[in-house]
Each structure stands twice: as structure tokens, then as C-alpha cells.
Structure 1
Amino acid sequence: MQTLAQDMKEHSFKPVYLIYGEEVFLKNSYKNRMKAAITGGDTVNLNQFEGKGIDIKELISLSDTMPFFAEKRLILIEDSGFFKSPAEELAAYLSQIPDTTCMIFVESEVDKRSKMFKKVKEVGYVCEMGRQDLGQLAKWAGTILSREGKKITGNTMELFLSKTGDDMENIKMELEKLISYTLGRDIITAEDVETICTERVTNKIFDMVTAIVNRQTRKAMDLYEDLLTLKEPPMRILFLIARQFNQLLQVKELMGKGLDKGSIASKLKIPPFAAGKIMPQARSFSKEAILSYVNLCVDAEEAVKTGRLLDRLAVELLLTHKY
């Protein structure tokens, strides 16, 4: 990220960039900042593409076209799939991009073994926008609050982040709510956080997993219905349940090796408060029980993808399963 910031500051751009990773907020933020820095708001020399099926020959032709009364032509390509499937012609071309063109790829997923990934790394710059750790998020959120004349203690910030999770877009929205709610006051309290901040979906998933393994079927189904009411897609719910069980399994194994909360958090790249919440849950369940549900999640996903079950029914069967 520092390289992107430096290139924008010096207005000296590489021929091609790849911005990828899980943190959507950061990806969008840097994409928009790079676009503004390169084009200066000029849309005549801006070409944007999104989704799979983009014509590589058209990209190459545009790249070879001189910009119209401008220093650079920007070609912005999002979620192309070029870094997950063969794109040899484009990969070969990247070494020949003229000085008057800059290509920026913004991708959700990449294969680091792909020719495109290796070529961008060779001739341009690759930047992964991963989830930020607790310290980085707390510092970023604290800076936003400070600009608004607000103060918050470390404990209250930890409570706030435990509710919002590590999604920066969600954190930003919850901060805006907190700032508006505390209008006229400079101190943000734990009571403010409890009152105004929406509990994140993953907290409900955590409670759902507890209910599943404790065979509290009614409670698990009620939580599922709550998430469906919030317009959460069944397959995303299944993904989050699977992720929670996998995380439980990892924590269980690390605890068995004698690792403490801080070490587990560092090893799994999760906030310490998250590790502290998962550890008691991991103690409550046998490794066999957790493994059973990890496998059930895999089976449920496969059943949906192969058309044997509808997504909603697949999750319902998982919630009511008795291992």
C-alpha cells in the first residue's frame, strides 16, 4: 500500500497494477484514489471493464491507442478472472505496454501461480488488501473519531470492534452512527456502543454454531431465520458456518499444543478478543464433533453445487443434523 501511496504522491506510475484481497473497503478506496490520480477526472482516456468474458484483443488494442491530449490512458479491469484462468496472450503483452498506458486489475481472487500474477509482479506492482489486524483497525477507527473531536478508551474500542468485526466498510458505517448518536459529547462510552452498534452477522453465526453442537435445534433455526430476514443468502450463511467450524478446529488443535490466546490469535491472524471468545467454545466440543460438522458443511456445499439440494434446504438439514 505504501508503494501505491508513493506512486500517487510522485505521480509516477508503473505500467500495470494488481490490487486484490478480502478487504473490499481498502480495494475500492485505493482503486478510486489511483483512478483520480492518473486521470485527474478525465473520462475521455478512461476505459473500464468488469466481469469475466472481457475481450483480450480489445484490451490490447486500447492499450496501444495513444491518449487524447493527456499523459496517460487508464484501463481499469475488475473481477476479470484472468488471474484464475489462462490468459497467455495478455500475460505476454504486459511486457510491451506503452508508457502512455496504465492498466489496473482489481480482483477478488487470484492464483499466485498464474502467468498473469507472475507477470504483473515482474513488470508492475502487486498489492494484497488483506483483513487488517486489531491494532491497525483500532488506530484507523481512532483517527476517524479524533477528526470528529471524539475520544474513546481502549476497552471501549475493543468492545466496538467485537461488534463490528474486521470489515472496514462496516466499521466506517458503525462509526458514523456513533458520531451522530454522541452529537454534543466528546466521550464515547461502552453504553453508547451497546446502544447504537449493530451486532455483526458473524456473532449470530457464533451463537448458531454453539446451538448446533449443543443440539439446540430450535435456537439454531431461529438464528437462521433472523439472518434470512436480514437478506443474508443461504450460501453465505453456509460459508460462515463452515468457516467457524474450521476456525474452531484450528483453535482446538493449537490449544492442545499449549498455545495461549495471544499465540493463537497471531497464528490464525485473528484479533485476540476473537481468539478469547472461540477458546471456551473449543473446550466445550470434542474434536470428533467439530470434524463431523466440518465434513457436513463440505457435503452440504457439494449437494447445492451439484443440484441435489436447494441452498436453503441444505442449510436447514445441517442445522437439524444429529452427529
Structure 2
Amino acid sequence: MKNIQEDIKTGKFKQAYLLYGEEAYLKQQYKRNLVKALNPDDDTMNFNRYEGKGIDVRELLSLCDTMPFFAERRVVLLEDTGFFKNKCEELADYMKALPDYLYLVFCESEVDKRSRMYKAVKACGSIGEFKQQDEKTLMRWAAGILGKNGRRITQRDVELLLTMTGTDMGNIRMELEKLISYTVGRDVVTAADIRAVCTTQTTNKIFDMVRAVTEKNQKRALDLYYDLLTLREPPMRILFLLAKQFRQICLTKKMSQEGLSQTEIASKLGVPSFVVRNLASCARSYTVEELENAVRDFVDAEEAVKTGTLGDVLSVELLIVKYSSARAVRA
């Protein structure tokens, strides 16, 4: 990413750029900045955009061979083309000798680093991978945005924010805007503010339900389940997410017993450290054997729904009741 920033800053551009990865917000931000720098006057005559997997490559190459109209550059933006997952031999060959006026910007979700297109861009241009940002980076970024808008926030409350919003930067940015508007006239963002205005993502509602289950708060767990159904969340998706959460709780329990730190567990699970803390808290209510049984129960429930033995709504309800039933807590 730094190499692309440097090119934008200096105005010395490569002829091809590939932006890819799962962090869509950052990727789109870099795309906009790069295209703006390459086409500062918003020249529609010499800027072309293609999107999707149905691009006619010969038509594209014909456009690329067209000299810019009263300008130094022709800029072509190509998004989600699939060229870096599927073969695109003609374009890969063409990129061996690009016209000096042509600048190509590719923006993709997934790439195969072994593909000819990836190697072609690497040979003549610059590549930026946009990975999901880690917990510390997201916390600094969120606190920084609030700081620029005259707001302060504690580390604990930033963690609460991320717990509710998830780690998608676009979603976090949207929730920060809501918080900034909500706290006009004040300089501190509190936990109460976050709970008042921030939208909890489905995965986080699921975790709230899991926490209620592990705390043996059956009424709250069922209320949260019915709330999700009211929001038209498919029961099978709820079942899938419940299974995923219990699988993570089980793995957290096992790794903790093996002596791994929260940071190490977070790295292996691919989640922020504060999520591991929540998982570890939930794990205290069960033995490893009980958690393994729960994971198997979720798999069996999915199979029962698929074969028509059990209804989807009822299958989830029965699992919630089973694992939230009051009994002696075993660690």
C-alpha cells in the first residue's frame, strides 16, 4: 500500500495497478485516490470503467489501443473481472508492452498469485493487498477519526464499539459518523452512546444469544432468537452462526488448556483479542467434551432440517433450550 501512496504523492505512476483483498473499505479508498490522481480533471473522454466477468477482452484491447483525446493519459478501471482467477491470455500478452499513454487499474476481491495476469501486473506495475486490519489498527483508526472530530473515547469503549460493529471498516466508519452526530456539543463518547445509536451486526446478535445461552439465561437467549426471526434472519443462517460460535468456543477452551496466550489463540482463529476474551468467558460454562457434543449436535440439527426430520425454526429453538438449561456450571 505504501508504494501506491508514494506514487500518488509524487505523481510518478506505474502503468498498471492491482488492488485486491478482503478489506473493501480501504481498497475502495485507495482506488478512488489513485483514479483521481491519474485523472485529476475528471476527464470522461479518456477514462473508461469496466466491471464484472463478462468483459469482451478484444473490445477492451481495442480501447486500450485508442490514443487519448487531447490528453497525456488514457485511464482504464477494471473491477471484479475475474481475470486474476481465470485465464486471460490475450490481456496478459498485451501487458508485456503497454502503450506509454495507457494506465490500467484493476480492483479485485480474489486473485491467484500464480496467474499470468498477476505476474504481468507485478512485472510492469504495482500491487496492493488489502487485508482485514488487526484489532490494534482498527482501534487506533476509530479513535483517530473521533479525535479529528473533537471526541475522546476510552480503549474499553472502542472495544465495545468493535464488538457491536464487527471489523469491517466501512461499517465502523458509518457507525462513527452516527456517534459523532449523536454527541454534538460533547467531547467524550461513552458506552451508553454506543449502545444507544450503533447497529449491532447479525453475527454480534448471535454472540449475544450465545452468551445468554452460556450464562443459562434461557429467556434472554430465546428472546434474542425470536428477535432475529422477526428481522427475517433465516433460521439456517442462525444455526450456521451458532455452530461457528460454539466451534470457536470449543477451540478456545482447548488452546487455553494447552497453554496458548489470548494473542496466540486470536491469531489461530483469525479474530481480534477482545473476541477471544469473550469466547474464553463463554467457555467457562462447559467442559471440552460438552462443547464437542454441542458442535456435533449443531451438525446433526442441520442434517435433520435438510432431510425434513425437523423444522428449521424448531431445530434452533431446541438447541438453545438444551444448552441454556439451568444446571451446575462446570469449568
TM-score by length of 1: 0.82
1:271-282 mapped onto 2 (5 Å cutoff): 271-282=272-283
Q: Give the Å deviation of 1:254.
A: 2.5
Distance of aligned partners of 1:86 and 1:271 in 2 relative to their CA distance in 1, 3 Å threshold? same
Alpha carbons 1:19, 1:128 under 8 Å: kept: yes
Question: For the structure 1 residues 63 and 293, does the alpha-carbon distance in structure 2 shift closer, same or farther, using more than 3 Å as the test?
Answer: farther
CA distance in 2, matches of 1:154, 1:91: 48
The count of aligned residue pairs is: 315
Return the alpha-carbon distance in structure 2 between the equivalents of residues 13 and 239 of structure 1: 46
Q: CA, structure 1 residues 290+108, in 2 after alignment: closer, same or farther (shift >3 Å)?
A: farther
Alignment of 1:139-288 (within 5 A): 139-208=140-209, 223=224, 226-227=227-228, 229-230=230-231, 240-241=241-242, 243-244=244-245, 247-248=248-249, 250-283=251-284, 284=286, 286=289, 288=292
CA pair 130-229 structure 1, distance change in 2 beyond 3 A: farther
Instruction: Structure 2: give runs of 5+ residues left out of the alignment.
Output: 324-331
Separation in 2 of the partners of 1:230 and 1:268?
29
> Aligned in 2, Cα 1:129/1:233: closer, same or farther, shift over 3 Å?
farther
> How many angstroms apart in 2 are the aligned matches of 1:115 and 1:298?
41
Work out whether residues 133 and 269 of structure 1, in 8 Å CA contact, stay in contact via their aligned partners in 2.
no
Aligned counterpart, 1:65: 66
Amino acid paired to 1:141: A
2:11 and 2:37 in contact (8 A); partners too? yes
Determine the C-alpha separation between the residues in 1 that align with 2:118 and 2:75: 19
Shift of 1:32: 1.1
Distance 1:293 1:197 in 2: 33
- Residue 82 of structure 1: CA displacement? 1.6
Map Cα deviations across residues 110-134 of structure 1 (whole Å, 9 max, x no partner).
2233222233223222211111112
Partner of 2:91: 90
Q: Please state how far the C-alpha of 1:151 moved relative to its aligned partner.
A: 1.3
Residue equivalent to 1:136 = 137
Please say if residues 27 and 129 of structure 1, whose CA atoms lie closer than 8 Å, have aligned partners that are also in contact: yes
> Judging changes above 3 Å, is the alpha-carbon distance between structure 1 residues 292 and 210 closer, same or farther for their aligned structure 2 residues?
farther
Matched with 2:5 is: 5
Query: Partners of 2:10 and 2:232 in 1: how far apart?
Result: 44
> What SS class does the counterpart of residue 44 from structure 1 fall into?
helix
- Distance in structure 2 (CA, Å) of the matches to 1:208 and 1:282: 14
Q: Does 1:27 align with 2:27?
A: yes
User: Counterpart of 1:81?
Assistant: 82
Alignment CA distance shift 1:231-1:123 (3 Å):
farther
Deviation at 1:249, TM superposition (A): 5.1
1:37 paired with 2:37, answer: yes
Give me the whole-angstrom Cα distance separating, in 1, the residues matched to 2:85 and 2:302. 22
189-198 or 9-18: bigger deviation = 189-198
The question of 1:292 aligning with 2:293 is answered: no
- Whole-Å separation in 1 of the counterparts to 2:126 and 2:38: 15
Sort the Cα spacing of 1:143 and 1:195 in 2 relative to 1 into closer, same or farther, 3 A. Answer: same
Amino acid paired to 2:98: I
Mark the runs of 5 or more structure 1 residues left unpaired by the alignment: none
Larger radius of gyration: 2
Asked if the contact 1:18–1:127 (Cα under 8 Å) also holds between the matched residues in 2, the reply is yes
**Conservation of the 8 A alpha-carbon contact between 2:67 and 2:74:** yes
- Three-state SS of the structure 2 residue aligned to 1:84 is coil
User: What residue is the counterpart of 1:18 in the other structure?
Assistant: 18
Moved more, 275-284 or 11-20: 275-284
**Alignment TM-score, normalising by the size of structure 2:** 0.80
